Every structure is written in structure tokens, then in C-alpha cells.
Amino acid sequence: MFDVLVVGDANPDLVLRGDVRPRFGQEEQLLDAAELVLGGSSTITSSGCARLGLRTAQVACVGDDTFGSFTAAALRRNGVDTAHLAVHSGLPTGLSVILSEPGDRAILTQTGALAALRPEDVTDFVLSQARHLHVGGFYLLPSIVDGAAGLFARAKAAGLSTSLDTNWDPSGKWAGVDALLPHLDYLLPNAEELSALTGLSDVEAAAASLVARGVTVVLKDGARGARAWWPGGACASAPPAVQVVDTTGAGDSLNAGFLAGLLAGEPLERCVTWAVTAGSLSTRAAGGTAAQATRDELLAALP
């Protein structure tokens, strides 16, 4: 049995830090650092969940290549069950290049095998083995977007709680979420994603529109931490002070902290504090997983 079944993107990130704003015209620029690390919103979340002591499995697609082997091995090292990680021989593993500056970053992604993931790859048997379904990297997974309502409905019918982190939609369409809202318990966007999903620029109004449909919204609020709204309540949580090296994947580690609190039976206000603490601690090293907190580290850092 698993505590969390994570579905979504699985790929390496090439994280570049320093003078990362490209200047065309064949100018050569020198970097401060370059690391190839485990990436992908859902894989950073699954690794964070496992690091926090949750029994975690990943459903995703990689290619039969060096990057695919790297991704699968990194997940296993992080304690994630990869028995349901599909390998496609005809497609390359996805790859993201992260241009990281203090407080912000740009992301260049080649989807490759990411887009081959289908709702039917998440079988009823796999769902029956889990307590919670989390989907990440939503808009990099076109078949999942098209079949999301059915996937989430099957999860709820099997007794799972559900969460979604859409991440950014490169197409700009922001489709597919409305149909799955009746089966969604927790949405974990940042402010830009929340506004794009609802068409409302004011985050309070945007969150209220989803809460009215029974969804709890946990908003990633950057250096300010996080805010959350749910039927009958709301809260905000500020992050602990840490020495920030790289913010890549901090929001995905925030997801993991929230799910760890949720599945431990913590009140929602405390889950948000767990989330912010986990996200903040993950910024202490380059990439999304190198500095993810253990459960003991997180509990020690909680206010």
C-alpha cells in the first residue's frame, strides 16, 4: 500500500546559475554552476513525500535512454517506488533547462516521453493501493488533461483524496480543470496560475470561486510563504529563514509538505505551515531534491 500515488512529469533538470540571461550573437557567457538533477514537478513532489516518510509511488513515462535511466535511478534513491514508471523506446526522456537567478527562474522544456502518459496507465488496481492521488505537471501531459475528469472520478470512487498542481500551461489555453473540479479536493497553484485558471486577477476572488465549488486552494506565495482558503476557513503562513541557493522546485516540495501534514491528520492551518517549511528548506541547495527535508528536519524547523 502507498500513502501517495503521484502522477505526472518525470525528467532531469539541467540547472544553470550565474550569468544565465542569454545574449545572442555567439557571445560566450561563464556560469557560476551547472548541475544535472532530478526534475519535473511531480517527481520533485514524489521525492519530497518519500523524504518526509510517506510511502510513495510514481506513475510517469520516460524514454529508453541515458536521461530515463538517470530519472528512474534518482527516484529509487529517493525512496520512490518506480514499478509503474513506463519506458518508451521510441521517445526521448523529457528535459528541462533551468536558468536560475536569485528569486526567479526561466524554464525551457522538451517534453519527449512526458506527453505519452495516458489516464489508463493509472489503473484501478494502482489506485486501490493508495490513500491519495496527486497529479503534477498537468499541462505537459495532453492525454491526462483530456481524461482528467475520469481519472479523478475513479480516484474518488476508490476512496482517495485528490490534489492537483497544474504548473504553467505553455499553450495558454488553461483547459481541463473545470471538468475535474467535482472530484478535486486540493488545488496548489501560484498566483499567476490561479488567475489564469479562473480568469480573475484578484487572488481572493479567484480562490473564493473555487472554494464555492468545494475545493481547498493552497496558494504558493513566493518569499511570503503560502495562503490557503477552504470552505469555512482561511489562513496564511510565513516561511522560516533559510540561506537560499536555488528556488527550483520549492513549490513542488511545498506540495510534499502539505500532503505529509494532510496524511498525518494535521489541521489545515498546520498543513500549510508544514508546506511552507518544506518548500523553504528545499532551497538550500541547487535543484529541487538535493536539500529536501526529512520528517525530523521539518518537524524541528516548524514554528
Closest CA to 15 of 291, 248, 252: 248
Residue 48 has what pLDDT? Answer: 98
Q: How far apart are the first and last CA of the chain?
A: 32
Residue 154 has what pLDDT? Answer: 98
Look up the domain containing 153 and give its range.
2-8+41-91+113-295
Number of domains comprising the chain:
1
Residue 287 has what pLDDT? Answer: 81
Distances (CA, A) of 208 to 94, 154, 216, 231: 35, 26, 10, 9
CA 274, CA 260: separation in Å to the nearest integer? 8
Beta bridge partners of 190: 220
CA 86, CA 84: separation in Å to the nearest integer? 6
Is 57 part of a structural domain of the chain? yes
Residue 104 has what pLDDT? Answer: 81
Is 17 part of a structural domain of the chain? no
User: What's the order of all strands across the beta sheet hosting 95-101?
Assistant: 31-39, 11-18, 95-101, 104-110
Is 186 part of a structural domain of the chain? yes
Is 55 part of a structural domain of the chain? yes
Residue 279 has what pLDDT? Answer: 97
* CB hemisphere CA count around 199 (13 angstroms): 4
Give 72-110 pLDDT, tens digit per residue. Answer: 999 999 999 999 999 999 999 999 998 988 778 899 999
Is 192 part of a structural domain of the chain? yes
Is 289 part of a structural domain of the chain? yes
Residue 248 has what pLDDT? Answer: 83
Residue 83 has what pLDDT? Answer: 97
Is 98 part of a structural domain of the chain? no
Residue 159 has what pLDDT? Answer: 98
Domain with 272 in it: what CATH number? Answer: 3.40.1190.20
149 contact partners, CB below 8 Å, separation of at least 6: 179, 180, 182, 183
pTM of the model: 0.94
Is 31 part of a structural domain of the chain? no
Burial of residue 122 (CB within 10 Å: 0-12, 13-18, 19+) is: buried
Closest CA to 298 of 239, 220, 252: 239
Instruction: Spell out, as residue ranges, where the chain has pLDDT lower than 50.
Output: none
